[in-house]
Structure 1
């Protein structure tokens, strides 16, 4: 069964655009709410739109102005709840998820009204920011609707609390990296290389915390698509602007990108390497104050010469295992520590009473 809602064509008296909605048995009640919410904007009756994504939404938060009237509600079992709320000159769509996130969008007859309705709806809806062990990090991915960014709090310890997890050889370079300010930036690429399980991801979380006053850190979840899709790359490079008075630097994190920067990268990824280099010191990166951090398990000798050439990198640091003496000091005992030392992942496994993870498959990175 199909139902078509027809809106008359525009005339001098009614300048709105036409709107047709097709609904069949493949559509859900949530789809109907989505269509109804878009209708006033699509026809031009309410030509102003505002949208915000919320984290840690309070259970008791109404997410609606006091004068709003709920006209539709759809609840998916063990899933999100969607509501359509209307008022004088505005329409509000609220989608609440079980993980306490929510999306609130409003259309209105004026931008001022859209802003005020949205502000009243979300005012006080979120719980306070997590404690100081967290930092906000953005996450980019390419969905069917284009480039998508979500911001979430992640656990991040200050550098002073975790520096003992790294070898003395790497610590001096890491100290300098953690202390970088915008005035110190003389290269756009940060390259962290070394075996899996040595703490490269932990370093990036700590770096996000150390730089949080001047740099927004975003992790790209699908870097292989990023450099194969110029449109996606442009959206990520342009970034996500806030209403802050001063534009912040941005650090894009690309984890385990061995194919992108290897010696055979040109043959394996086509234009991917060229676009990466353009982002780090070409026109694209220079115009947006963008830094790029890459982690890899590859040795430097196996990377493309263009990536490691002098002047390209702000930091190029080998993150290796702790030497035996350092590993024994970290663990407080010598049991389980081999003659050549141990990685951070192996030390955590030993301390928890588990056998160290096998290192035959180095594709996982062990996420430390």
Structure 2
């Protein structure tokens, strides 16, 4: 007859070793996990708050603070009460709040008391749109944060595009969920022609029915199945309410060019699977890709009929359009100009110097 196995906490002795690479915040993390690891408080509930309201302590009534730390980019507070322990980790405007407790209901109640009313909602601006930004954090894994992005209306930015592009974008800006056929949105063309600006304006035009998320590390997304599942499959407030999501992948030349099947491995297959394969079934997900590649160099599977909701080549303005945009012929060549070149001419700078010199509201409008 086999012996009864020992409880898991007895098989996991807790030892804390620190050196000069550790910070006081690391010690708080370890102390917080102690009661959960031993089974004294076996239930844990947590939440991430992107923008904490000014003055919010994130502590429930009656909390006794045990430890508190603060450094350049992070602060942490360890507190306890009857049957529970709480850790608050704050960075910039955001915070992670986690509670361990003797039972699940207590953990949920303490977490609610600590965070009730702590979320700060920014004042909505008519020309702003909320965009999400995904990236893999070394500390927290796949993570999404949001920002208010200034975006002009389509009527305001339409003159930045040559006539055929503007006409194609006219149709795209008016798309509704009922119009969606393909799941891939492809903008291709030379650098500096305004692809990023068009996507920002699209986010504004679609904001009533579509949440736009930019993936900051797309080269990792399709090579990390866990990351891909978190973004594409994981539920969030938008998808549970039936809203669509547009995932933006910028400058993905290596992923979708003709030889991508050999150089990118499974990454291309997963992208295609997300747009019209099993991975995308039942999910209201669109994928927007920008690339500097010519259409002829793109993989045929990417541009096949039926896959793309839109496939737009964003090119330079003609000489006539450039002169009308700039208000003068000075500096405009026979072949016209890109949007980046026109901004440079307006400022009296060299186009090559624009990315390092442009700051403020106009920065990024011509990428």
Q: Please state which band the TM-score falls in when normalised by the shorter chain.
A: 0.7 to 0.9
- State the Cα RMSD in Å: 2.6
Match of 2:284 among 257, 264, 289: 289
The answer on 1:91 being equivalent to 2:85 is yes
Which residue of 2 is the match for residue 129 of structure 1? 122
- CA gap 1:230/1:61 in 2 versus in 1, 3 angstroms: closer
- Give me the whole-angstrom Cα distance separating, in 2, the residues matched to 1:109 and 1:162: 57
- CA gap 1:115/1:356 in 2 versus in 1, 3 angstroms: same
- Give me the whole-angstrom Cα distance separating, in 2, the residues matched to 1:209 and 1:189: 19
Provide the secondary structure at the position in 2 that maps to 1:276.
helix
Match of 2:66 among 25, 46, 71: 71
- CA gap 1:44/1:272 in 2 versus in 1, 3 angstroms: same
Match of 2:111 among 107, 111, 118: 118
The answer on 1:271 being equivalent to 2:227 is no
The answer on 1:197 being equivalent to 2:197 is no
Which residue of 1 is the match for residue 50 of structure 2? 55
Q: Deviations over 1:264-287 (max 9, x none)?
A: 111111222211111110010123
- Give me the whole-angstrom Cα distance separating, in 2, the residues matched to 1:119 and 1:326: 57
2:129–2:148 contact (8 Å) kept in structure 1: yes
Q: TM-score, normalised on structure 1?
A: 0.86
Match of 2:97 among 97, 104, 107: 104
Q: Deviations over 1:25-79 (max 9, x none)?
A: 2432111111122233333433443333333434422222232221110122x23
For structure 2, which runs of at least 5 residues remain unmatched after alignment?
A: 1-5, 355-363
For residue 367 of structure 1, report the CA deviation from its aligned partner: 6.5
Which residue of 1 is the match for residue 357 of structure 2? none
Match of 2:329 among 304, 326, 334: 334
Q: Deviations over 1:313-367 (max 9, x none)?
A: 00000111122222222223332222222211112222222222279xxxxx997
Match of 1:168 among 163, 168, 173: 163
- Give me the whole-angstrom Cα distance separating, in 2, the residues matched to 1:121 and 1:238: 29
The answer on 1:142 being equivalent to 2:109 is no
Range 32-41 or range 64-73, more displaced: 32-41
The answer on 1:256 being equivalent to 2:251 is yes
- Give me the whole-angstrom Cα distance separating, in 2, the residues matched to 1:124 and 1:283: 40
The total of aligned residue pairs comes to: 350
Which residue of 2 is the match for residue 325 of structure 1? 320
